[in-house]
Amino acid sequence: MNITGNHFIAGREVAPQGNTFQAIAPATSQPLEGVFGDASHADADTALQAADDAFDALRLASVETRATFLETLADEILALGDALLERAHAETALPMARLTGERGRAMGQCKMFAGLLRDGSWAQASIDRAIPDRQPLPKPDVRKVLLPIGPVVVFGASNFPFAIGVVGTDTVCALAAGCPVVVKGHPAHPGTCEMLARAVYAALEKTGLPAGAFSVLYGKGNDIGVTLVKHPLTQAVAFTGSLRGGRALMDVAAARPQPIPFYGEMGSVNPVFVLPRALEQRAGKMAEGYVQSVNMGVGQFCTNPAVVVGLAGDGLKAFVEGAAAEAAKVSPASMLHRGICEAYEAGTAVWHTIDGLKLAGESSTAPQQEATQAPCRIFTTTVDVLENNEELRREVFGPCSIVTECASVEEMLRFARGLEGQLTAAIHGTEEDLREFAPLVRILERKVGRIIFNGFGTGIEPCPSMHHGGPYPAASHSFFTSIGTSAIYRFVRPVCYQGFPDEALPDALKNSGPAGAFRVVDGKLTSAAV
């Protein structure tokens, strides 16, 4: 497939104008096929106007039509074949095996939301039937359901070109809900974005849905992103990326004449607490798993374990020694793009200047700068140094982490209380450790979105029970997830109907209701018709 570099606006290809750029292969530092350009304000307006025009046709399409679209999209992604994997590999340096698995995840998400739509219970329909002869006043018929909000702008992630990109969870669940989507394509992998955009249009056409329901615009700088967030037709924004970029867009969304929800997933340091009995029993094994997690995807996961906290003693010493030995075995690998690699080197360079922070171990092989490679680096410090240096509590995106020594349980709990919001926290221990450190669990319940026992945050299972979010600054709103079926709730809102005849109600609120869907009728959960 030839890469054109064109924007995709409601099914039309629009040639790039103005400032242009090319994708650069991180492993070779060479430009790749396709010349892309910054979208204009007019392009953004056209895309969002088309999205708004397509809104009614999309949201009023039958559940079966929307579900079939999602399943067809999964087929179209697969139909791109090895060419998609090869382009993504060239643009991101992610291994082919990882990309093959991620493609499967993206396809699985399409099918998961198709199943959610067909079930129907997700819409949370609620019916309170009229009681005309109630005294002293009659009770009206009141019904409520979740409905789509309108055009959604999606900012894809650099580190998941399939699963959190053009066809990622944000896009898929917004379209499932009935919301048109305008994607701001990631400038680090625009060719991959183009190929996936063609898959979306193929699926829309095959299922008779409007092309205006989807657009992809590119931009190397910040201008087009700000324009999309400010546009009055945009009704919500989904973002995955850095705290700096996410906070800037979050403020833009809040400052609009009509403020809109901004759902940002902005990363965290994902602390890992290693408890005494676990250290006594399996310090070496934990160290091995820890370093593997630190280096998963060259450390480019938002759930990367950047801080480990444990009590001083022989167990923690053995853990550090094991982690240092494992780090030395790690071969430097290419990061997603040069900007991320330079930020990683700059961040760890600052760490080297901080008194009380020591390098415990790193990759024994030097990285190749021309291949955008980063080495693994494991540091050690004490909790007071970590608490007194803000630089150590900020995410450095890449394969680095800090093992932190606490002198007492009280110090460990104090550190936990002082944490900012996190996506994840992990506890490694025995069941006896969990009972003894129950206050730690209670603290973490207020600080993080997902608590893992004897595991690490890297590796997310997209499923109904998954919550990928957390208190600010990990995410902009701790109530919502960007992974799993509950992600759809970001793009709907409740609408209440009072006194409407049955035929004028949305299908979910009609007396017959969707077959098999659960609804709350007069306060009781049931799947029966009214």
Residue type, 488: I
Quick one: 321 and 346 in the same domain? Answer: yes
pLDDT for the residue numbered 484: 97
pLDDT for the residue numbered 323: 98
**Residue 335, in any domain of the structure:** yes
Q: Could you tell me if 57 and 38 are in contact, meaning their C-beta atoms sit under 8 angstroms apart?
A: no
Q: What is the mean pLDDT of residues 341-365?
A: 96
Quick one: 303 and 425 in the same domain? Answer: yes
Q: Give the domain CATH number at 287.
A: 3.40.309.10
Domain boundary among 433, 453, 473: 453
Query: Of all residues in the chain, what percent carry a pLDDT higher than 90?
Result: 97
Quick one: 317 and 206 in the same domain? Answer: no
Question: How many Cα atoms within 13 Å fall on the side-chain side of residue 45?
Answer: 3
Residue 46, H or E segment: helix 41-59
Quick one: 282 and 428 in the same domain? Answer: yes
Alpha carbons 8 and 21: distance in angstroms, whole number: 17
**Residue 401, in any domain of the structure:** yes
> Residue 145: beta bridge partners?
495
Provide the mean pLDDT of the chain.
97
**What is the Rg, in whole angstroms, of the alpha carbon atoms belonging to the chain?**
25
End-to-end CA separation in angstroms for the chain: 53
Q: What is the mean pLDDT of residues 205-214?
A: 98
Q: Give the domain CATH number at 96.
A: 3.40.605.10
Quick one: 215 and 243 in the same domain? Answer: yes
pTM here is 0.96
pLDDT for the residue numbered 8: 98
pLDDT-derived band at 17, boundaries 50, 70, 90? confident
The size of the chain, in residues, is 530
User: What SS3 state is found at 121?
Assistant: helix
Of 315, 241, 303, which Cα lies nearest the Cα of 274? 315
The residues, any chain, with a CB within 8 Å of residue 282's CB and separated by 6 or more, are: none
Peptide bond into 473 cis (omega under 30): yes
pLDDT for the residue numbered 391: 87
pLDDT for the residue numbered 210: 98
Q: What is the mean pLDDT of residues 199-222?
A: 97
Quick one: 262 and 276 in the same domain? Answer: no
From 265, 326, 362, 405, the catalytic residue: 265
pLDDT for the residue numbered 284: 97
- Among this protein's residues, is 205 annotated catalytic? no
Q: What is the mean pLDDT of residues 425-432?
A: 97
Residue type, 183: V
Q: Residues 97, 169, 509, CA angle at the centre, nearest 5°?
A: 145
pLDDT for the residue numbered 76: 98
Quick one: 358 and 332 in the same domain? Answer: yes
Quick one: 145 and 106 in the same domain? Answer: yes
From 302, 341, 376, 406, the catalytic residue: 302
Quick one: 332 and 431 in the same domain? Answer: yes
pLDDT for the residue numbered 290: 98
Could you tell me how far CA 38 lies from the centroid of its own chain?
24
Quick one: 325 and 409 in the same domain? Answer: yes
Q: Could you tell me if 207 and 69 are in contact, meaning their C-beta atoms sit under 8 angstroms apart?
A: yes
Quick one: 261 and 276 in the same domain? Answer: no
pLDDT-derived band at 267, boundaries 50, 70, 90? confident
DSSP 141: P
Q: Could you tell me if 213 and 186 are in contact, meaning their C-beta atoms sit under 8 angstroms apart?
A: no
Helix axes 223-230, 41-59, angle to 10 degrees: 40
Q: Which two tokens stand for residue 89?
A: 């590999």
pLDDT-derived band at 1, boundaries 50, 70, 90? confident
Quick one: 256 and 283 in the same domain? Answer: no
> Residue 425: beta bridge partners?
451
User: What SS3 state is found at 473?
Assistant: coil
> With 80 as the cut, is the pLDDT of residue 337 above it?
yes
How confident is the model over 368-395, as pLDDT tens digits? 999 999 999 999 999 999 999 988 988 8
**Residue 434, in any domain of the structure:** yes
Domain extent, residue 390, equals 272-453
Greatest alpha-carbon span in the chain: 83
Tell the burial category of 451 from Cβ atoms under 10 Å away from its Cβ (0-12, 13-18, 19+): middle
Q: Residues 324, 28, 373, CA angle at the centre, nearest 5°?
A: 15
- Among this protein's residues, is 102 annotated catalytic? no
Instruction: Return phi, psi of residue 407, to 5°.
Output: -80, -20
How confident is the model over 278-309, as pLDDT tens digits? 999 999 999 999 999 999 999 999 999 999 99
